[in-house]
Chains A and B, each alone.
Chain A
């Protein structure tokens, strides 16, 4: 294999070309293995390799924006689920994988095929299997009948012990159970079919386990890990990454998931295949293919398996004694044989959100297992947005042109008789001073802004834009057949956004003002210390704040629940109900935002002359009267601009919503900005639709600013 890679490079000549750029999102051992392999490749071929480790969150958007602009890498490592989208965007080159397919596990090769063409070289596999603690479980269950027999003996709700722990609310973990019950996501015609008896049976099965308290409620990865490490979960369903999380003291083994007794079918987990893809825009196709193949081949796979503990796709790697010694790898290889590659279709990418919604509803008792399928179906339909019909641009251009001429004409008619020089004696200097800022703003703010607005008239699909007129707006404003009370309707989100903005601004101002008044008190010692401490939240970057509070609101490991527990209050599952989830967002944002208002209030309070209070004191006015009639009126002019600015910021406060509640439950706490973001980056890059959302946000804020302008003008006049 190595020889083949060498030969390929030698044939194409020029080994001293520019370095090959490889992007990945690996960490830890996997990254080390990749670095070592890159060095080996350079040693063998003389071809330099440049690695770039990208944060996972930014990886896919980085690839889809960079490669079409010719600014991307020569190759990148990604899971196969997005392959079809990459192909449609034209960012990946076909590979000669079929010629070498005998050297790989078959499902890994199958996963990399789109419409009869193979892309990329398979590196490693990820799928789910059953981990069991060998001290607690002697023989792992082969079937669900055996599992159900075993679970009661292993579980004890009082002692917080569970027979099985897994992230039941995530469809990735539920899919094998659904397939085991003979359920299918799509019918033979490719249409979605979630509302089936099989779906109900699978949901009923997990609900039964949860109601008997054999599996923990609202399990997160962190909970599963801690239960298993403490010996309080006898079995766990998880993937290869879980092996790295298990304490050395736990004696465990891994087997394939059991068979569903009712159907006799095995639980088939999804198989994810990580592959090295060659960019279609790479100028060094042959070398890039050679490197991808080098990484994927037997020797490369051994390094990745040994250092990174990956489950290799190359069969030759399993001959290596070091790999054979690793029972995690050999067990997952067996488990992978009954796995089914995650469909790389666009339809599949839309399945996760609806199924998560349905799973959580069933597990929380908000829906019966029979209703679960219909719930998912409905959400799937909403996300599966048909592309609007093309529209002719002519009428729009006409209206635009007429508008332009009319404004121009109006301006001409309105022109004053006073000569320009007389009216603006300092115009030249003024314009000179403003010019640099104006030029910068024009290029980097106004142009993208104008482009953003015009995008709302287009439909984006895989890199091509089609003009659709106002169809996106009609879609949003008609809330696409949804009733106003459902989270996916524009009006629901709008109300949530307004509520969010209102509650936050009120809290920011009242907490900030109250603290400012306390800090102003002449009785206070150590004023400087208090002021410094209270300003801290402002100095912390807000994505750090958001992630920090997300951790604090964790159901099982969060400090907030620990505090409630210590006070004798039942811990709250923060993100399963609208009210608590919304409250979590508001608490986070209040923490983040009150110091700004406090500082503004402090400054404004300083400007109020002290003798006013003294006079009031003499007149016998109470503190409250003084506050009502002196402090508040005199604060208003200073606070008003801060409030206006604060409301615009809060209205578009994406980080807190996205990182803290993530829209849970079921998108109910999403605000307009986060909804727009989802359409742009998580639901097949519907930029046009997202832009239409943004334009609507823009209009709402424009309306708001004209109201506030009127208020402040009256303020100034009165």
Chain B
């Protein structure tokens, strides 16, 4: 067997570098817009800005409302609260449901699994009209609680499918051994199953978080208080009727994307394992 040639190694690295560049180019373009002093698109290929200013970031971060409250701070907080709560609620609901669907036999199980998938097929934008009336009936309009519940349930089908698939791959023997040792069923679930499922939990949490962090149509429609708005709604304000404030939009886009990117980097090891083991038997 002959060893790998130098050429092969170089080609491999060049190829991947080119792909990375193609992937990053649009992002660099946004960085450039965010750092350039102008508010418009610019016709140049180079992703390096000619002049650098932090004005757009300053403008985006230092937004105050009429009462002098730090609007950006409140919106950031609101985004964090909504996404964090969505992740917790979504995960709690999904984990229990997925475990039951994976381990227990009960009536309506098959139908339930199918129904979960089916709800993903109805366009979400058109649920807005009935959802609005429903939330009003429940007195959950204009409240973060309402938003959290909507987000958590709408990401639930995907999370349940993912987790169920992962639970299916975990050997039952471990749980049976724990029961032999005198653990209660809840202890088995809490102390044996969940730690084993950590990669899948990480991925599911990431998905729930992203669903809530990035959504803007529901947030803009359901919330009526500027300090409750989530960041994507604030970002959308830079897209006006007559013009788009590209500089502000780009700076805001980077600010909004940064936390999700950070989470991705932190969780990327789990991502590979968590997604696929879940996918194998999904």
A residues near B, CB below 8 A? 21, 25, 27, 35, 38-39, 51-58, 61-62, 65-66, 69-71, 73, 221-222, 225-226, 239, 241, 245, 420, 423-427, 429-434, 436-438, 440-441, 443-449, 451-453, 455, 515, 518-519, 521, 523-525, 530-545, 547-549, 551-552, 554, 556-559, 561-563, 566, 591, 599-600, 602-604, 606-607, 617, 637-639, 641-642, 645, 648, 652, 654, 673, 676-677, 680, 687, 690-691, 694, 697-698, 701-702, 705
Contact = CB atoms under 8 A, between A and B. Distances in A.
A424 B107 contact: yes
Contacts of B138: 443
A274 B259 CA distance: 39
Interface in B234-249: 235-246, 249
Contacts of A556: 43
Contacts of A525: 13
Given A429-B185, A523-B8, A539-B260, A534 B97 contact: no
Given A62-B220, A245-B243, A427 B94 contact: no
B170 interface: no
A542 B221 contact: no
B237 A430 contact: no
A362 B214 CA distance: 40
B206 to A, nearest CB: 10
A298 B86 CA distance: 49
Q: Which of B100, B157, B238 has the most CB of A within 10 A?
A: B100
A436 B126 contact: no
A241 B243 contact: yes
A451 B106 CA distance: 28
A452 B26 contact: no
A70 B233 CA distance: 22
Given A54-B220, A448-B130, A535-B268, A673 B66 contact: no
B196 interface: no
Contacts of A433: 96-97, 99-100, 104
Contacts of B125: 654, 673, 676-677, 680
B4 A697 contact: no
Contact of A449 (B127, B136, B214, B239): B127
A715 to B, nearest CB: 11
Given A424-B106, A558-B41, A447 B130 contact: yes
A447 B220 CA distance: 22
Interface string B16-34: 1001100111110110000
27 contacts: A55-B233, A56-B240, A58-B233, A66-B224, A222-B41, A427-B107, A430-B100, A436-B92, A440-B153, A445-B153, A524-B16, A540-B253, A541-B257, A543-B232, A552-B29, A559-B44, A562-B43, A566-B45, A591-B23, A603-B279, A606-B273, A617-B1, A641-B165, A642-B279, A652-B124, A673-B125, A705-B121
A444 B150 contact: yes
A518 B154 contact: no
A429 B186 CA distance: 10
A429 B100 contact: yes
B271 A599 contact: yes
B44 to A, nearest CB: 6
Nearest to B121: A701
A537 B23 contact: yes
Q: Which of B129, B154, B233 has the most CB of A within 10 A?
A: B129
Contacts of B29: 548, 551-552, 559
Contacts of B130: 447-448, 451-452, 455
A559 B45 contact: yes
A592 to B, nearest CB: 10
A602 B217 contact: no
B226 interface: yes
A697 B122 contact: yes
B214 A542 contact: yes
Q: Which of B19, B134, B244 has the most CB of A within 10 A?
A: B19
A27 B237 CA distance: 8
Contacts of B126: 452, 676-677, 680, 687, 690-691, 694
Nearest to A659: B239
A73 B93 CA distance: 35
A676 B123 contact: yes
A362 B220 CA distance: 38
Interface string B122-160: 111111111111101010011000000110111011101
A69 B123 contact: no
Contacts of A639: 279
B220 A533 contact: no
Contacts of B106: 424, 426-427, 430-431, 434
